[in-house]
Amino acid sequence: MGFELLAGTKAPVRVWTDPYGIEPQAAQQLRNIGQLPWVEGVAVMPDVHFGKGATVGSVIAMRQAVSPAAVGVDIGCGMSAVRTSLTAASLPDDLGTLRTAIEATIPVGFAQRGREVDTRRVRDLDQKGWDWFWSRFATLHDGVSGLESRAHHQMGTLGGGNHFIEVCVEQGGPDDGQVWLMLHSGSRNIGKELAERHMAVARKLPHNTHLPDRDLAVFLAGTPEMEAYRRDLWWAQEYARRNREVMMALLCDVVRQHLPQVTYGQPISCHHNYVAEETYGGVEVLVTRKGAIRAGEGDLGIIPGSMGTGSYIVRGRGNTEAYCSASHGAGRRMSRAKAKKTFTTEDLVAQTAGVECRKDTGVVDEIPAAYKDIDEVMKQQEDLVEVVAHLKQVVCVKG
């Protein structure tokens, strides 16, 4: 499908779903964004839903400005996936053993490592730039220096909520039955700390006084506040990327220990909460993607569904109307609180049949029915991406 315009905004807000089906809170957030004087345009992905500060599933192009809330608190959150040489027939009958081994190797939820991971000893991990990366911690926002030890101990850990590690099997096509490894995680607590500190600074700046929503406060190019934010933003995005690389290398080694014949292809990795400098129609803009991936022509990306419905590997079509973007997943159709009130562990067991995963009260808020239909979401963005592979998980690890 193509886009529709959301009414009542100054800048164009293009929507890749039914604009009348967007929840009222999210629609108001989008209208507020479209009123900001620095906004060139907004693209709204089919997984759109209300988010803290700014809408999840929104791509915002600004001239000489950026809103920290339009990036989100989990700076650099994103996906990684790698195709293996294994087929479904290669997997053991008891997938519980494999899941237990993954959980023993990669801390999940609020857990951090008792001793930081020695990246020099992680097999097949890119060793370039680690010392320089960690040396940059001293340049970050005042007051976060006390969090350095925690940042070290959370490197190579998953987190909770909708973050996951999966073993998936390709569905259909010439590679039917091929096994993939996939994970979703971000910058852990340090990204959140940096984001919230910068949001607080932005709200107090005089040029943000009369905004329709102070949560959308921006930093302006050429100011010390903007430079400080972009410095910390880059570092957090890099932390998130390296965090996923460490976990993927560890995950690959766990699978190798169980199935020594395995070999791996080239990993795919993409942020979906981040900022990029891009040019459209000759205009240089700062593009924030909050719950959206870059889908430039030929770009490979990952769009997950839920813990029971599978995911898609995609290739971008380079649609400039959407600022070369696509959805970051299925998107929630109900809040976590509502999901916990609506569904039971019995519902979770039924909806995750055939998947080796947690099936307890702690993850009921992640039940597949709390998310939109991933296949419908994919249909709504056929002009943004083409499907490379459809994957179905057989193991899902959550915090």
Strands 356-357 and 385-398: parallel
What's the maximum distance between 2 C-alpha atoms anywhere in the chain?
62
- Measure the CA–CA gap between 119 and 137, rounded to whole angstroms: 17
Residue of 169, 181, 196 whose CA lies nearest to 74: 196
Annotated catalytic residue 328: yes
User: Token pair of 397, please?
Assistant: 């690890």
316 three-state secondary structure: strand
- Measure the CA–CA gap between 75 and 55, rounded to whole angstroms: 15
- Measure the CA–CA gap between 164 and 141, rounded to whole angstroms: 29
- Measure the CA–CA gap between 217 and 204, rounded to whole angstroms: 9
Helices (H) and strands (E) in the chain, counts: 9, 18
Query: What is the residue whose two structure tokens read 């995609």?
Result: 314
Catalytic residue of the set 163, 198, 272, 328 = 328
Dihedral pair phi/psi, residue 250, rounded to 5°: -65, -40
- Helices (DSSP H) in the chain: which residue ranges? 24-34, 95-105, 130-135, 148-154, 188-203, 224-258, 336-342, 345-351, 374-379
- Measure the CA–CA gap between 71 and 87, rounded to whole angstroms: 38
Residues designated catalytic: 328
